[in-house]
Amino acid sequence: MSKILTILLITLPLLGSSFDINKIRKEFKKIESNIALNRYYSRKISQDMQEITIYKKHNRVKKIKVEGGSEDSYHKGEYYFKNGKLFFSYLQSNDVAGCGVEVRNYYKRRHLIKKLVKYSKKCRRDAGYPAYIRSYKELLD
């Protein structure tokens, strides 16, 4: 009996996390589909060698996309929101040497529940992300 209880205590959180990630993926696909169908208002802002695109519906931010780089690198960050709360981010960075990384972050109630990291085959190196947005509040107006 205690073995069964121990197994349940170990596996239940894992099953719950899997369910949360499936819900996150479903919401992600919904937002991307609506962007493809031009159902959101979008606005572009150039800021510090980055281009920021904000997608909104009914004055609520659904996605913020940040792209930028320099002569030898490129980075992209996509941040997805539901009810004003971040639920998923996709970060990508590459450089001319072929080094790069992709990071997928899954959130629930503003807490990171899963992080997937994929490095390029050529070399394993973390790179800078488009984390700097000068005025976040300006984007949400």
Give the C-alpha separation, 26 to 9, whole Å: 27
The pLDDT tens digits of the residues spanning 15-51 come to 446 668 899 999 999 999 999 999 999 999 887 778 9
pTM above 0.85, yes or no: no
- Sign of the dihedral through C-alpha 59, 83, 49, 77: negative
Unique residue bearing structure tokens 């169908």: 37
At 8, which amino acid appears?
Answer: L
34-43 as b/e: b if 16+ CB within 10 A: ebeeeebeee
pLDDT at 14: 45
Q: What pLDDT digit, counting tens, does each position of 76-106 carry?
A: 999 999 998 889 999 888 877 778 888 899 9
Instruction: Report pLDDT for 70.
Output: 80
At 97 the pLDDT is: 78
Sign of CA dihedral 101, 70, 36, 131: positive
- Specify the pLDDT at position 20: 86
Q: Is residue 11 pLDDT above 50, yes or no? A: no
CA 71 to chain centre: 25
Question: How sure is the predictor about 128, in pLDDT bands with cuts at 50, 70 and 90?
Answer: low
